[in-house]
Structure formats: C-alpha cells, structure tokens
C-alpha cells in the first residue's frame, strides 16, 4: 500500500508537506498542492481514514437529515437532485455522506444521539419539520449545520429564490394576458411565506386584484389536497384563467382533474407548477413551471458546510440564495391572441 512517505520521496518533499497538501492547508502553495495530489493519484494512494480521523479529530463524514412529510423519499426528483449535488461536491472535497435516522438496530434514538454515535463533522438539514424538538435539539447541539430552503436560528442556509421565482411566474402569466390568477400554496413554512408574500406583492405591482376565493392551501406534493382545491376553483361562477400550484406533482394532479371535467389545458384553463421535475416535461401538455437549481443548491450547501467545518471562526453564517428560471411549456394559453384589436 502506498504511504505518505512514498509520495514524499517521489515528490522530493517532506512528509509534513505531503500531509498538509493532501489536507488542504493554506500554508502550502496551490502549485505544490496540485503536484502532490497528482503524484498521489498516479501512485494510487488511498488514505487510511481511521488514521486520518485520529490525527485530525475529524471523520470526513457529514450527516444528511432528510424527512419528507409526503413520504416520497428519494423518489422526489427535486430533492434527489439536491442530494446528488451534496454528494458530488462533498466527494470532491474529500467527504462522504450518511443519512441520519432516529433508529439504530431497532432501538429508537434522537437525531443528536445518532450524530454523536456516527461522529459527523457536520450536518445538512433538508425538507423537515423545524418545530420538531429533535431537530431543535440537533441545531442547538453545537455541531456545524447548514439548512436547505429554511432560515433557522443561527445557521447557514441555502435558499431557492422563492420570492423571485413566484414573481417571475406571475409576470410571465401577466405577459400572456392572464388577469384572473389563482394561487394554491403549500402549508406554512418560510418557503411558503416568501411565495405567498411575493404573489400578493407582484399582483399589486401589476395592478391586479386578488380574489379571496382564488387563494387556497394544500401541503406540498399532496395530490388529494390539490384535487380538492382544484375542484373548489372550478366550481366558482367566475373561475380563474390560470391556476398556480405549489409544485409539479400537485400541478399534474390538478391538471388531471381539470381534464376529467371535460376542460382542455390550456384552451379552457391554464396551469403552472413549481420545481421543474422530469414528469412536468413529459406530461401532455408540458407543464410551465419554475425550474429550481436543485443540484446547484446541494453543491452550495456542501461547500458551505465544509467551509464551516474547516474554518469555523472565519465562515460567515448567512443565507445564500440560488435563482431558478421559468421553464415554459404548453400548459399556459396566450390570451393576448384572443383579444380583438
């Protein structure tokens, strides 16, 4: 097995220099680091992680706390992209990831206990109930933490730009001639609050009134809730020309109900989603949606956490906002084309 000493001999440098280069110390030049890492790869060097952990007091393993209330788990495409971004960036930076659970060998434990047992260097939290006492305990435990799509206490957060995302969608609908716009939003969270505020503010800026009956709530990815809200909107005497859904899964469920009422999309009513998952693209008609940069958010979260682990005194605890983009499909009609000049 190739050792650090073998790399040092091959590079004609000291063992200490090789160790510092492989562990990313700042007092080694980038040129030297690159040369040493290239030689290590050429020789097939594989670090002894147990020895590294003893020497550095780090395990080079970060925990991922991901609990989806809708029980879609890793089948949820948007969060699967986020998690893949975390994994790939962590791997580049020399870290592995492990999912956090509250059970070990059939015994129930807290999230904090699991993290202590696994000796994580840090934790990324995504898609969870932040009022859960176990989550609060974990955040207050002192372990480095980054949250995704939620600003929570004194932590670094990586956020999708929900304010701009909803604004862009509403402005797109306005440009297509829509004035009666219904908004189905998710259950209460910082994400939802940003989206709802952005919806009302953008409608006001465009000089549009928001009909009280046009605003409805259902949980994210809750197909039954989406069906209920859609039916309620379709029964209105003056129904909306477009329904905005909180995510693509609910948008597709709503679209199916609209079709079951003998209405066409977008001929009779338009639909938008949110997330930009693959199913929204292959659905007929393709759902117009706000495509979130899931992979980019995951990469940013991993980079921020590892910076916090390596440089806890100089890493700022702030929110990083990642923009998405409107992905136009065939589910929104151009009402301008029906206006007689």
- Give me the pLDDT at residue 70, please: 57
Q: Say how far apart CA 165 and CA 21 lie, in whole Å.
A: 42
pLDDT band at 340 (very low <50, low <70, confident <90, very high): very low
Sheet of strand 181-185, all strands in order from the earlier edge strand to the far edge: 215-217, 181-185, 242-244, 270-272
Mean pLDDT of 189-214: 95
Q: What is the pLDDT of residues 205-243, one digit of tens each?
A: 999 999 999 999 999 999 999 999 999 999 999 999 999
- Picking from 257, 293, 272, 237, the residue whose alpha carbon sits closest to that of residue 81 is 293
Q: Residue 336 gets which letter from DSSP?
A: G
The alpha carbon of residue 241 and the mean position of all alpha carbons in its chain are separated, in whole angstroms, by 30
Q: How many CB atoms lie within 10 A of CB 281?
A: 14
**Which residues on adjacent β-strands are paired with residue 325?**
291
Q: What is the pTM of this model?
A: 0.79
Q: What is the pLDDT of residues 30-71, one digit of tens each?
A: 899 999 999 988 888 877 665 666 566 778 999 999 876 555
Domains and CATH numbers, the chain: 4-47 (no CATH), 61-160+294-323 (3.40.50.2300), 162-292+326-338 (3.40.50.2300)
Q: Say how far apart CA 62 and CA 254 lie, in whole Å.
A: 38
């Amino acid at each position: 097995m190739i050792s650090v000493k073998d790399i040092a001999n091959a590079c004609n440098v000291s063992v200490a220099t090789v160790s510092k280069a492989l562990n990313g110390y700042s007092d080694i030049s980038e040129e030297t680091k690159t040369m040493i890492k290239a030689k290590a790869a050429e020789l097939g060097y594989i670090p002894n992680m147990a020895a590294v952990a003893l020497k550095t007091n780090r395990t080079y393993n970060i925990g991922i706390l991901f609990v989806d209330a809708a029980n879609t788990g890793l089948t949820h495409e948007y969060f699967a992209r986020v998690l893949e971004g975390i994994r790939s960036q962590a791997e580049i930076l020399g870290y592995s990831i492990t999912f956090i659970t509250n059970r070990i060998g059939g015994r129930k434990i807290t999230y904090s206990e699991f993290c202590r047992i696994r000796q994580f260097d840090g934790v990324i939290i995504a898609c969870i109930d932040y009022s859960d006492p176990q989550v609060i305990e974990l955040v207050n435990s002192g372990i480095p933490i980054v949250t995704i799509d939620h600003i929570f206490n004194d932590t670094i957060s990586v956020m999708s730009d929900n304010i701009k995302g909803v604004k862009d969608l509403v402005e797109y609908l306005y440009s297509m001639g829509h004035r009666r716009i219904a908004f189905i939003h998710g259950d209460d969270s910082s994400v939802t609050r940003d989206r709802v505020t952005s919806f009302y503010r953008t409608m006001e800026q465009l000089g549009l009134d928001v009909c009280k009956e046009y605003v409805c709530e259902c949980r994210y990815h809750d197909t039954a809730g989406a069906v209920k809200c859609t039916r309620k909107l379709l029964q209105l005497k003056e129904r909306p020309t477009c329904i905005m859904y909180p995510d693509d899964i609910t948008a597709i469920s709503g679209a199916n109900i609209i079709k079951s009422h003998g209405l066409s999309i977008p001929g009779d009513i338009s639909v938008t989603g949110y997330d930009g998952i693959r199913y929204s693209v292959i659905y007929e008609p393709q759902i117009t949606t706000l495509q979130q940069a899931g992979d980019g958010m995951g990469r940013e979260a991993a980079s921020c956490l590892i910076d916090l682990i390596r440089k806890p005194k100089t890493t700022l605890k702030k929110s990083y906002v990642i923009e998405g983009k409107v992905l136009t499909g065939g589910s929104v009609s151009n009402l301008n084309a029906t206006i007689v000049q």
